[in-house]
Every structure is written in C-alpha cells, then in structure tokens.
Amino acid sequence: MTFGITRYGAYVPRLRLQRAAITAANAWMAPGLKSQGKGTRAFCNWDEDAITMAVEAARDCLPRSARAEVRGVWLASTTLPYADYQNGAVVAAALGLASGVNTLDLAGSQRAGIAGLAQALSGSHDGALVIASERPKAKPASTQELGYGAGAAAFLLGHENVLARFLGHAGSTSQFADHLRDAESDYDYFWEERWVREEGYAKLIPQVVKSALANAGVAVTDIAHFILPSPFKGAADAIAKRVGFAGAVADNLGEWCGHAGSAHGLLMLADVLERATPGEKIVLIGFGQGVDALVLEATDEILARRPNGGVEAAKSGGIITDSYMRMLSFYGEVKPEWGMRGEKNDKASLSAQNRVADRLAGFVAGTCRACGTVQFPRLAYCVNPACNAPAAQFDDHPLTEESAAVLTYTADWLSYYPAPPLYVGFAQFESGARLMMEMVDVGPDGLDVGVKLRTVFRIKERDRQRGYNRYFWKATPVAS
C-alpha cells in the first residue's frame, strides 16, 4: 500500500536582517566578514520561538478541516524552549487537536528533523504530523551569525491522497563531532570546516545515499532533486558529484533565509515539493552524528495539494530591516535599559491558566445559539444586551483561521514592550467578533484602519525568573 506525505507546510519569520548591516557593525574588529555580507537572514521576533514557528508551519500544512487526520505530533528541534515540559503538547493545544493525540519531542542532533521524518515514514505511522522548528543562536560577529536563519516545516503522513510516496531509507550512526553545544551553552562550537567536509561529509554520506537508493530500487540517475542541508557553501554540490548525481542540487535558501539548523532539511524539502512534478524522485539527506537518507517520489496529487503559503510565500512576505541592534536585543545579546516600565512581575498562575487552557490555546470563542453573537472571552451570559442567554447555550467558535481587519489601533511608545512601538487595537472578525488584540510584525508603513489581519500564535509574556512562557494569539497584517 502506498504511504508517504499527504500534506506539507512551512514557516519562516517575516523579519529579515540585511547581512551588510552585520558586517558593517563588526568591521572594526572583523573586517574579513565583509565578503559574506550579501542577502538577508531571517530572525525571530521577540515573541517567536521553536514552538510558535512549529504552530505556524503546521497551520500552513493543515486546514482546520484536516486536523482530525492527525494521530500524533512529532516535534524536532535543538532549540526547544523547555527541557522538561513537553513542547509538542503546546503545539497540539494551539492547533486544537484532540486530547487523544500523542506528542513526542525529538532533539539532540542537527538531523533530528530528517531522522524523525525517516522513522515516521519507515514505521508507516499513519496520521503522524512531523514538524521541525529551529531558532539557532550565534555569537555576535561570528560566521554563524551571518549564516544562520530560522524557520519550520511540517508534514502529515498517511496512506490516502499521498503527494510524495516513500520509496526507501538508509541510516548510520557515528560519534563524528563536526560541532556541538553542551547543555549549559547558548552557542555552537564548530571544528575546522575543511576537516568536516573531508572526514565527515565525504566519508559518511555517500555510502548511506547508495544504500538508500538500493533500498528504494532506483538509480542515482533517476533522481531529480538532491537535498543536503549544510551551513557550508558548496558542500551539497561536492557530495552530489561524489555520488554521481549530475542534476541541479536543491536551493539551500541561504540568500534570503539562512541556515535553520535541524529544521533546514525539511524546509528545503517543502521548497522542492512546491516545484516538483509527478514522477520526479527526491533524495533527502540529514547529517549529524550519523546520516539519514530518504528517497521519495512525487505523485499526481502533488499538483493539487500545494500549501496555502509555503516557502515561496514566506520568501516574498519578508520585512527587511537594517537594524542589527534589533536582532541582538530579540536574541538577548544586548540588554537595553527599559527603565521602570520594564520592572514587571510576569508570574503566571498555572492553576488559573489551566481552567481555561483549551479556550486560550485554541483561541476558542463562543457563539450564542439564541442570537448568533460571537464573543471572546466567553462570559457567563451573552454580551448582547437584548439577549443575555446563559453560557450553556454557547457553541465553540475557533477564531484562529478566521480573517479580520483593523477597526481601531494605536502605536504606544510609553508602555514597556520589547519591540516598540506596541501596536494594539480592535480587530473586527468576519463572524462579528470584535476584540482588543496586540498587532505584531507591522512593517515600516505602519497600520491603517481596514488593513486585513490574520492570527498568529506567539509568546504573550515571558516569566524569566521561572522560565515559563505564556502563549496566546496576536494579529498581524496579511502580507501583500
């Protein structure tokens, strides 16, 4: 029976920093970086992390009508916000998935995303939603700071309406340490690039690729798309040549996105699937303490099951900035003096939050069956003064996939906010719901009444003392 990928989606943060701004700011001590100052790199807003990006990639993958197909959430990342609290459970709640859905966090290696996809495909895990999401951090003035990016990709697996069928897989394990990050560190430690290429990539990858092709019953000449994520320029081309692949190697997305760690291979796969045609075969390779190689084949379904957004939409929807200090602040590399406004106690009441957890995480409003009024939050009685029906007569009404528009707004420079100004105002939803919302990722042109909005899952507040994030939904202008 055919098994493989049935849906896919991707997300890249809208904020893009010009690399020239990084090289210019550090030219006083690292003038040699100037040659790498081309293009842009994606970076997370202050309220984005591996969880929020995973939710956005999954939303791109899954319309609400398809979420009943999900049987499990496999979340891969080496930059998950929690070490002992299941990150995938937060993602599942935000997506409004049933409580019976299993969740699993995967970490510990740059190939965590591809290895997770390989295991889910090899085991024919019907309904597995495999997500890889990464927010890598680098030392200022390092080559990694220039080369890194951020992003996420999501894939639903199943036996029906398969758009890319699974043909075969091979894998290996090795202690080879191309780089590492211990549990107490913020930054990766890299060994010399040439050694990694020659002793790592060149010696470990080719044999696994050959085994994967043999297991799939295809020749390297049958492959149309060769995907090898790597932070090293030209590494994928060299390995493709070594295994006898003569076609075009997949775009590494480096010119506008940057390398998104363990999520990058799946982000590249999503990009390839957007352009693949029926019958084309794909090899996807993951490297990190071993190798995984997957072989897939696009089916006729691939033309009809493109994501609503995908990588191409993410590429065109960026907000370009030359503010290097903004990125440093968002990633905690500089600590601006916010004054007394920033002296906030953000301790969350876990018990109070738990009482309304499902409605908050899923942004579930209530529709009054008596008069049709939609309200959030759901109160004890209908807010329509002519109705006042009790809450027992409300039906669930999720707002996450409903479009809205700016009704009123203000740009607040006085309140403490990590990315001033704080845009806040009333969002008017199509269903009639109207509520005050924070508005994020506002471009240089600002906002205006009537601007179309969509909801995004973000960090509402960080409790830095206890290490707990409160997540909620915000509004963002629809990218033109």
Q: Which CATH number fits domain 4-330: 2.60.40.720, 3.40.47.10, 3.40.50.2300, 3.30.1490.150?
A: 3.40.47.10
Residue 17 CA to residue 40 CA, distance in Å, equals 5
Statement: residue 245 has pLDDT above 90: yes
Q: Where do the domains of the chain lie?
A: 4-330, 402-480
Dist. CA 117–CA 157, nearest whole Å: 9
pLDDT at 214 over 70: yes
pLDDT band (50, 70, 90) for residue 343: confident
Write down the mean pLDDT value for the chain.
Answer: 95
DSSP string, 374-399: EESS--SB-S-TTT--BGGGEEEEE-
Residue range 287-322, pLDDT digits in tens: 999 999 999 999 999 999 999 899 999 999 999 999
For 376, residues 6+ apart whose C-beta sits below 8 A from its C-beta are 363, 364, 365, 366, 399, 433, 435
Q: What is the pLDDT of residues 267-277, one digit of tens each?
A: 999 999 999 99
As given in the structure block, the two tokens for residue 81 are 């916000």
Cα(319)–Cα(12) distance, integer angstroms? 11
Name the residue among 32, 65, 33, 174 with its Cα closest to residue 109.
174
Query: 440 and 476 in contact (C-beta within 8 Å)?
Result: yes
**For residues 297 and 276, is the Cβ–Cβ distance under 8 A?**
no
Q: Which residue has the tokens 């549990």?
A: 183
Percent of the chain with pLDDT over 90: 90
What pLDDT does 351 receive? 75
How confident is residue 464, by pLDDT bands cut at 50, 70 and 90?
confident
> What architecture (CATH level 2) is domain 402-480?
Beta Barrel (2.40)
**pLDDT score recorded for residue 480:** 61
Structure tokens at 222: 């049958």
Could you give the CA distance from residue 316 to residue 312 in angstroms, rounded to a whole number?
6
Give the CA radius of gyration of the chain: 23
User: SS3 for 331-349, per residue?
Assistant: CCCCCCCCHHHHCCCCCCC
When pLDDT is averaged across residues 101-128 and rounded to a whole number, the result is 97
Q: CB–CB of 168/211 below 8 Å?
A: no
Instruction: Give the percent of the chain with pLDDT over 70.
Output: 99
Mean pLDDT of 30-46: 96
pLDDT over 80 (residue 461): yes
Rounded Cα distance between 162 and 156, Å, is: 10
Structure tokens at 229: 């994520």
So what's the pLDDT on residue 278? 98
Mean pLDDT, rounded, for 99-106: 95
The pLDDT value recorded for residue 344 is 73
- Predicted pLDDT of residue 465: 78
Write the CB contacts of 345 (distance below 8 Å, at least 6 apart in sequence): none
What does the angle CA 353 – CA 359 – CA 364 come to, to the nearest 5 degrees? 155
Q: For residues 168 and 73, is the Cβ–Cβ distance under 8 A? A: no
> Which is nearest to 16 in space by CA: 377, 307, 443?
443
pLDDT band at 463 (very low <50, low <70, confident <90, very high): confident
- Residue 405: per-residue pLDDT: 98
Residue 346: what pLDDT?
A: 72
Report the pLDDT averaged over residues 341-348: 73
Question: Which tokens go with 127?
Answer: 């309904």
Q: Model pTM?
A: 0.96
Cα–Cα distance, 183 to 173 (Å, whole number): 21
How far is Cα 359 from Cα 391, in angstroms, rounded to an integer?
14
Q: How far apart are CA 70 and CA 98, in angstroms?
A: 9
For tokens 């920033």, the residue is: 342
Tens of pLDDT, residues 423-441: 999 999 999 999 999 999 9
Strands 223-227 and 281-287, bridge-based pairing: parallel
Q: Report the Cα 408 to chain-centroid distance in Å.
A: 30
Name the band, by pLDDT with cuts 50, 70 and 90, for residue 352: low
Instruction: With a cut of 70, say whether residue 378 has pLDDT above it.
Output: yes
Is residue 357 scored above 80 in pLDDT?
no
Q: Which two tokens stand for residue 476?
A: 């963002």
Task: Find the distance separating the first CA and the last CA of the chain, reported in whole Å.
Answer: 42
- The average pLDDT across 263-284 equals 98
Residues 6+ positions from 473 with CB-CB distance below 8 Å = 363, 399, 400, 437, 455, 456, 457, 458
